[in-house]
Amino acid sequence: MKTNTFMENKQDGRMGVFATQSVIKKWGNSQGIRLSKEILSQMNLKENDTVGISICSGKMTIEKVNRPKYLNLKERLEAFYKRPIDEIYVESVQEIDVGDPVGNEEW
């Protein structure tokens, strides 16, 4: 049995809270809950997106996890230069001696 309704938010009186029912089904050795296209659309979710699940006082909350666009410096540099990391030109990897301190620098 599946019913979709929009109901009033009990906390602040706003309309537009989406409520539906679903059935827990066996999925391999686990249990799963199917999410309708409408839910996925409202949550801006698509297949293989990562979600966080939290449980508090017997209520489960499912939220989209916004992963960073780049997971490391290599990915960020490749995206910026639009080429593989091995093809990115590096002017020099050696230390350069700029002479003795001139002002009140302390090293």
Q: Where are the domains of the chain?
A: 4-64
Distance CA 6, CA 20 (A): 9
Distance CA 77, CA 27 (A): 40
Q: Which residue type does 50 have?
A: T
pLDDT at 7 over 50: no
User: Is the confidence at residue 14, as pLDDT, over 70?
Assistant: no
Q: What is the mean pLDDT of residues 22-38?
A: 92
What percent of the chain shows pLDDT beyond 90?
Answer: 36
More confident residue, 55 or 11: 55
pLDDT (tens digit, 9 = 90+) per residue, 34-68?
999 988 998 899 998 889 999 999 999 999 988 77
CATH 2.60.120.200 fits 4-64, yes or no: no
Q: With CA atoms as reference, report the closest residue to 2 among 15, 18, 26.
A: 18
**Rounded-to-integer distance, Cα 93 and Cα 71, Å:** 24
Instruction: Tell me how far the alpha carbon of residue 93 is from its chain's centroid.
Output: 35
